[in-house]
Amino acid sequence: MELQRVRALRGPNVWSRHTSIEAVASLAPEEIQIGAMPGFETRLRARFPDIGAMRPIGFEGDISLAHALAFAALGLQAQAGCPVSFCHTAPTVEPGIYRIVFEYTEEAVGRLALELAQRLIEAAREDVPFDLAAALSRLRELDEDVRLGPSTGAIVQAAVARGIPYQRLTEGSMVQFGWGAKQRRIQAAETDWSSAIAEDIAKDKDLTKMLLEAAGVPVPTGQPVTDAETGWQVAETIGLPVVVKPRDGNQGKGVTVNVTDREQFLRAFAAAAEFGPEVLVERFIPGHDHRLLVVGHQMVAAARREPPHVIGDGVHTVRELVDQVNSDPRRGEGHATLLTKIRFDDIALAQLAAQGLAADSIPEKGRRVLLRNNANLSTGGTATDVTDDVHPEVAARAVEAAQMVGLDICGVDVVCETVMKPLEEQGGGIVEVNAAPGLRMHLAPSFGKPRAVGEAIINWMFPPGEDGRIPLVAVTGTNGKTTTVRLIAHLLDVAGHRVGMTLTDGVFVDGKQIDTGDCSGPKSARNVLMHPDVTAAVLETARGGLLREGLGFDRCKVAVVTNVGSGDHLGLNFIHSVDELAVVKRVIVQNVAPDGMAVLNACDPRVADMAVHCPGSVTFFAHDVHHPVAAAQRAQGKRLVFREGGDIVASEGNFELRIPLSEVPLTRNGTIGFQIDNTMAAVGAAWALGLDWNIIRRGLITFVSDTLRAPGRFNVFDYRGATVIADYGHNADAMRALVQALEAMPARRRSVVLSAAGDRRDEDIRAQAAILGQAFDHLILYEDACLRGRAPGETFALMREGLAQALRATRIEEIRGEFAAIDHALDHLEPGDLCLILVDQVDEALAHLQNRIAQAAAHPSPA
């Protein structure tokens, strides 16, 4: 078995809504049925007993090595603790070629799982050992490294529960919630409302204390020093015991509490000085260490923190007791797990010495042995939830402290005997405030009730009823996508939106192009949804990007499918039929929001059949109101946009609105059928978005299919009395639609400039030429430098074959180069002629054509 290709599908895709790894595997004949491989399954299960049945529910065919690989990759992730459940294996039309798809939660982990699954399969085939424990350990370690930490993960989970979209921006903990102008960003438990000034204040312990004291918040006395002797003098002045800590620090690093003598002070000062030149010496407040979490204008959680410690049992040494505590599966290194392992380092040994103990001492049963003085979870401490016990005055002091520093999310450290009484009554005080506070102690306290602090942060960022989404329209189809996208975007622009738009022509934001080339894939979609100016998005969603990576969004408000035609991209990416192509394009319909709308072409049976897959509602559009699908929709009082005589009609129940085609320049007074379809699709989308009908009318009136608004989409020019039409049509259905449209335009003689994309099937190239050969007198065939895998002259030969039965064509010429072909056509035009130019390099060809037309206008031919 050989893997030919591996892709990550990072959004909803043809297989599922899950993020997935897709691999293409080539199997030898003997690998197509593992039952025919003696002993293989037994050896495989011996090496990985939890692989499962390897037979999908309802599957009746042979179980291949590809099935085994998919189940192994999925099962390895599941056994490593990843919440995955979906896999699928399907043969292609090519013998021995299979597509393997399995879910992942972290892409790097999914790719590693595939690699390890391959090794497992080979080990079973060759009957050699496979270290399952080591493989699972690698997966767990990688998962811990790359997945979001507990704090960020809790906030993301709360957002998902609210239906708020998110996108991870870095490999770390920076995440965007929402889209466009409604987006918000976090980094761990820090929001984009957290100012850098507030963070600097929070890190400066002395400045923080000064501000809190000015606000009447109780704080310990003390001052910063730069040398140990001065520090000891300050300690003696304010009275022992004292706390020694870096002036600029976090996570309890370098902090020593309850310092009672000079020797201990000097060690504490040296530890603090490692984190900065200034060390803060302040009065030690007796009592328990508490962390109060403030979000916005309220305290949402509180925990009493205990320093890392062990309890003697009279049998084990201190070192052994620490090992027992660290064996708790909730404890790990750093912040990836709910608790952190206790560090057995020099600070711990010094703390033991202060208690008359060493690492190999056996403390008596019940004795509490401290390993550190400070109670930070990051050094191995534990937490007990006390949220329900906090006195309102204590909570108010915490909120005042956060607001005085300027933090919207703040961890306030309070030392007092109990949080059930005001601080002033018990001599307690606030000793620190912290930006980007860790949430672990509130999410999964060692003792007590977990608190929904992630939900509290999301509710602060997004008030109830807000989901961070902007109107998002996805448009797909074989033909008409780009024009429909541009028209919908224009209607939204008229409505006052700043529109982000992705097209095969580039990316546009508020009318300005910010990227070039074919930008109809998921990467461009994500870029638009990250842009802070965008208030509405219209995304052309092409087949290629969808197959390559899935959708660039989780769901859309409106999905528009214009049509599913034949001859376009068939034979690529294992898509060999129009029905298979329809399944790909159906993905945007399957991912319409429950309160959203699919706008579907009723007269295209494959598109109409997509309606049953839509989680939301359906608007049909139809050029024939008597078509059975359209007629049924109208009879049921559901939304329908159709052509009737000289009008476009929008109908729902007793509501009916008419827009004369004479007011829609795009349709050239109703003579261009495919532009009427595009207009109806756009009207259906605008209606689904709730745009005012006056705005829709105004938008239709002001949209013109020129080279600025719709380059390469039936752009009409006058050249020395002849009519020239430039269009990007590139498949048989487009050719038929163009021919039908041109029949309404009288002409003395008709010519066409055409080429063919080299990556189309031979029969598609022949069919396009045959259609045009029946409708034009003069055909100018061209090949350009980009042959897309074809040999020079090969597309000429295929087009000639298609023209063999072209009865109308009286003259057929071959020219090298697109611009040369355009020039040749223009040079032979006479007044009253009509010329269709099928452009390939859209922008460059249009610029060349417009330059020739401008020259002709400046130097008219003599009468």
Q: What is the pLDDT of residues 182-239, one digit of tens each?
A: 999 999 999 999 999 999 999 988 899 999 999 999 999 888 999 999 999 999 999 9
What is the C-alpha separation between 374 and 309, in angstroms, rounded? Answer: 11
What is the C-alpha separation between 640 and 630, in angstroms, rounded? Answer: 7
Count of domains observed in the chain: 5
Claim to verify: residue 677 and residue 734 sit in the same structural domain: no
Claim to verify: residue 168 and residue 142 sit in the same structural domain: no
What is the C-alpha separation between 401 and 153, in angstroms, rounded? Answer: 27
Claim to verify: residue 745 and residue 697 sit in the same structural domain: no
pLDDT band at 840 (very low <50, low <70, confident <90, very high): confident
Claim to verify: residue 535 and residue 597 sit in the same structural domain: yes
Claim to verify: residue 527 and residue 562 sit in the same structural domain: yes
Give residue 368's identity as a one-letter amino acid code. Answer: R
Please give the pLDDT value at position 861.
66
What is the C-alpha separation between 52 and 60, in angstroms, rounded? Answer: 17
pLDDT, average across residues 519-533: 96
Tell whether the model's pLDDT for residue 570 goes beyond 70.
Answer: no
Claim to verify: residue 488 and residue 625 sit in the same structural domain: yes
Point out the domain boundary residue: 146, 177, 203: 146
**Domain CATH for 239:** 3.30.1490.20
Q: What angle do CA 229, 233, 234 make, to 5 degrees?
A: 115
Tell whether the model's pLDDT for residue 17 goes beyond 80.
Answer: yes
Please give the pLDDT value at position 57.
78
The gap between the terminal CA atoms of the chain, to the nearest Å, is 74
Please give the pLDDT value at position 744.
83
Give residue 393's identity as a one-letter amino acid code. Answer: E
State the pairing for strand pair 166-168/174-177: antiparallel
**Domain CATH for 641:** 3.40.1190.10
Residue 814 forms part of a structural domain: yes
Residue 516 forms part of a structural domain: yes
Please give the pLDDT value at position 569.
58
Claim to verify: residue 19 and residue 154 sit in the same structural domain: no
Give residue 519's identity as a one-letter amino acid code. Answer: C
Among 249-258, 574-583, 647-656, name the most confident range: 647-656
Claim to verify: residue 695 and residue 678 sit in the same structural domain: yes
pLDDT band at 729 (very low <50, low <70, confident <90, very high): confident
What global pTM score does this model have? 0.86
Tell whether the model's pLDDT for residue 571 goes beyond 60.
Answer: no
Claim to verify: residue 576 and residue 633 sit in the same structural domain: yes
Residue 479 forms part of a structural domain: yes
Tell whether the model's pLDDT for residue 366 goes beyond 70.
Answer: yes
**429-434, strands of its sheet edge to edge:** 382-385, 298-306, 288-295, 409-416, 429-434
Claim to verify: residue 500 and residue 624 sit in the same structural domain: yes
Residues 6+ apart with CB under 8 A from 394: 292, 414, 416, 419, 421, 422, 423
Are 311 and 382 in contact by the 8 Å Cβ rule? The answer is no
For the record, the structure tokens of 281 come out as 């010496």
Q: DSSP for 77-132, please give it.
A: HHHTT-----EEEEE-SSTTEEEEEEE-SSHHHHHHHHHHHHHHHHHHHHT----H
What is the C-alpha separation between 623 and 563, in angstroms, rounded? Answer: 13
Point out the domain boundary residue: 84, 119, 146: 146
Residue 435 forms part of a structural domain: no
Tell whether the model's pLDDT for residue 568 goes beyond 70.
Answer: no
Q: Which domain holds residue 779?
A: 715-858
Residue 464 forms part of a structural domain: no
pLDDT band at 50 (very low <50, low <70, confident <90, very high): very high
Tell whether the model's pLDDT for residue 599 goes beyond 70.
Answer: yes
Please give the pLDDT value at position 337.
66
**Which secondary-structure segment (H or E) carries 355?**
none
Q: What angle do CA 168, 114, 554 make, to 5 degrees?
A: 30
Residue 380 forms part of a structural domain: no
What residue has token string 């660290």? Answer: 326
Give pLDDT tens digits for 136-175.
999 999 999 999 999 999 999 999 999 999 999 999 899 9
pLDDT, average across residues 688-701: 98
**Domain CATH for 834:** 3.90.190.20
Q: What angle do CA 279, 293, 216 make, to 5 degrees?
A: 60
* Percent share of the chain, pLDDT over 90: 74
pLDDT band at 550 (very low <50, low <70, confident <90, very high): very high
Q: What is the mean pLDDT of the chain?
A: 92
Please give the pLDDT value at position 184.
98
> Could you tell me how many residues make up the chain?
863
Under DSSP, is residue 787 helix (H, G, I), strand (E, B) or coil? coil
Point out the domain boundary residue: 678, 702, 726: 702
Give pLDDT tens digits for 607-634.
999 999 999 999 999 999 999 999 999 9
Number of H helices, E strands in the chain: 29, 37
Claim to verify: residue 628 and residue 689 sit in the same structural domain: yes
More confident call, 262 vs 375: 262
pLDDT, average across residues 318-328: 90
pLDDT, average across residues 418-444: 94
CA atoms within 13 A on the CB side of 496: 3
Residue 375 forms part of a structural domain: no
Residue 384 forms part of a structural domain: no
Claim to verify: residue 693 and residue 774 sit in the same structural domain: no
Beta bridge partners of 89: 100
Under DSSP, is residue 801 helix (H, G, I), strand (E, B) or coil? helix
What is the C-alpha separation between 613 and 445, in angstroms, rounded? Answer: 44
More confident call, 372 vs 531: 531
Please give the pLDDT value at position 612.
98
Tell whether the model's pLDDT for residue 759 goes beyond 80.
Answer: no
